[in-house]
Amino acid sequence: MTIRGPEEPVCLPQGFRFSCAQAGIKASRKTDLALAVAPGGTAAAAMFTRNRAAAAPIIIGRAHLQETRGCLRAVLVNSGNANCGTGDCGLRAAAACCSALARDLKITPGSVLPSSTGIIGVPLPAGKIVTAIPILARSLASGEKALRAFGRAIMTTDLRPKLASAEFSIRGEIVSVAGVAKGAGMIHPNMATMLVYIFSDIKASPAALRRQLQAAVDVSFNAISVDGDTSTNDTALLLASGASGVKLAAAGVETPFADALRGICASLAEQIVRDGEGARHLVRLRIEAASSPAEARAVACSIANSPLVKTAWAGCDPNWGRLFAMLGNSGYPFDPARASIDLGPHRVYANGRALPFDRKAAHELMKGPEYTIRVRLGRGRAALDFLTCDLTEEYIRINAEYST
């Protein structure tokens, strides 16, 4: 399955229209309001943040999906304000935006899924959004340009829009899947300030979509970390308009659709880490010979969340001792005598001790934009690929200056 990246023409699913507007939430005067509409309705499945300080749109979105049993008509996203830590007023503000859009589009408020991203603890300026809704609704369009504009309007500290798409044919009918995402910081498994919207024209039930989404998110968005912070607003939404006329095969997750979905999620996850705040190096962690998938993930997180490891990467420093130290911090047993560590092609640690390696060549490798670190734990047969990045002075600059 070929996955098209952000620079390539989009495989555009039928049955959706997109638009964006400048509501004045962002001080930068960039677009900050995005709308996707499925005029014929769409099946939907979503995964939300596990942060227990979940934002108002998460609470409303969950309720709307339950109310409609996973059948939506529209997705309304604002950037620049997370509508989190805003209590009952925040819930009312999110509901008011959904209602205003519903009135304009002549749909039910419950069929609108709201999303927000941006600063936490500042009341959402719902009035600005309500005012912009008629413009937003009038400018809906179905082309690639409209989808790309949607993708740009949901950005916050992102430097680049994130987009991936794929298509496949079943008995001569073409099915398209396209996803957009935002996220550059607060990125961590169980999701991050990460918004992901994946549109397809396949025909599928909300329950089937849910299974597909869970499987794809597990190995993509739940296997990346920029800074270890789990956001209050994370959302991954999968929509299926059915407009292609092709029905999703019942046979589990080994289908062309599953391939496309997994590929798109993997591509978007990688785009997010590549755009990690201040990141200069993409690091592919390959954890092998773990006793369970959970152990592999815990070890990957222990490495990926260590400021000392991440600053060594920033310095292109083959100081693998810091990484070794984190192997003992995963909460699982650790056997130093059976573990090994490879920096790219250089085996630096095995059989309980440091191995001689070409430090200069390893330093050169680490100066590159990406490389792989392979850790074998010698405890079992589970493995995991995990993407992360270095921690640079630029990360500090970006985040020390964000709100003031």
Q: Which of 49, 157, 193, 388 is an active site residue?
A: 193
Among positions 329, 346, 357, 385, the unique one binding its own copies when judged by CB under 8 A: 329
| Cβ proximity of 281 and 364 under 8 Å | no
Among positions 63, 89, 159, 207, the unique one binding its own copies when judged by CB under 8 A: 89
| Cβ proximity of 107 and 68 under 8 Å | no
Helices and strands: H and E segment counts in the chain = 11, 15
Among positions 27, 88, 250, 369, the unique one binding its own copies when judged by CB under 8 A: 88
State the nearest-atom distance from the C-beta of 400 to its own copies, in Å.
3
The site string for its own copies over 351-390 (x = CB under 8 A, - otherwise) reads xxxx--------x---------------------------
Considering only residues 246-265, where is the footprint of its own copies by CB under 8 A?
A: none
60 near its own copies (CB under 8 A): no
Query: Using CA atoms, how far apart are residues 124 and 82, in angstroms rounded to an integer?
Result: 8
Count of residues interacting with its own copies (CB under 8 A): 70
122 near its own copies (CB under 8 A): yes
Residues 6+ apart with CB under 8 A from 306: 322, 323, 326, 329
User: What are the Cα distances from residue 383, in Å, to 51, 61, 294, 295?
Assistant: 26, 34, 10, 9
349 near its own copies (CB under 8 A): yes
> Is the CB of 320 or the CB of 371 nearer to its own copies?
320
The site string for its own copies over 26-55 (x = CB under 8 A, - otherwise) reads -------------------------xxxx-
State the nearest-atom distance from the C-beta of 166 to its own copies, in Å.
33
Q: Which among 282, 260, 271, 43 is positioned nearest to 151, based on CA atoms?
A: 271
Query: Using CA atoms, how far apart are residues 108 and 103, in angstroms rounded to an integer?
Result: 8
Q: Which among 208, 209, 223 is positioned nearest to 266, based on CA atoms?
A: 223
63 near its own copies (CB under 8 A): no
Among positions 80, 185, 189, 263, the unique one binding its own copies when judged by CB under 8 A: 185
Among positions 119, 170, 219, 253, the unique one binding its own copies when judged by CB under 8 A: 119
Q: What is the DSSP letter of 321?
A: H
Residues 6+ apart with CB under 8 A from 300: 223, 225, 285, 287, 384, 386, 388
Q: Which among 226, 220, 222 is positioned nearest to 183, based on CA atoms?
A: 226
403 near its own copies (CB under 8 A): yes
> Is the CB of 58 or the CB of 101 nearer to its own copies?
58
| Cβ proximity of 77 and 20 under 8 Å | no
189 near its own copies (CB under 8 A): no
Among positions 319, 370, 374, 382, the unique one binding its own copies when judged by CB under 8 A: 319
The answer to whether 42 is a known catalytic residue is: no
User: What are the Cα distances from residue 88, in Å, to 58, 81, 94, 146, 353?
Assistant: 13, 16, 10, 34, 57
Q: Which two tokens stand for residue 364?
A: 């050169």
The site string for its own copies over 265-304 (x = CB under 8 A, - otherwise) reads ----------------------------------------
Among positions 96, 140, 174, 325, the unique one binding its own copies when judged by CB under 8 A: 325
| Cβ proximity of 42 and 240 under 8 Å | yes
> Is the CB of 18 or the CB of 334 nearer to its own copies?
334
Question: What angle separates helix 87-105 from helix 56-67, to the nearest 10 degrees?
Answer: 50
334 near its own copies (CB under 8 A): yes
194 near its own copies (CB under 8 A): no
Q: Which residues are catalytic?
A: 193
What residues make contact with its own copies under the rule CB under 8 A?
51-54, 82, 84-90, 119-123, 185-186, 227-232, 305-308, 311-312, 314-322, 324-329, 332-334, 336-337, 348-349, 351-354, 363, 391-393, 395-397, 399-404
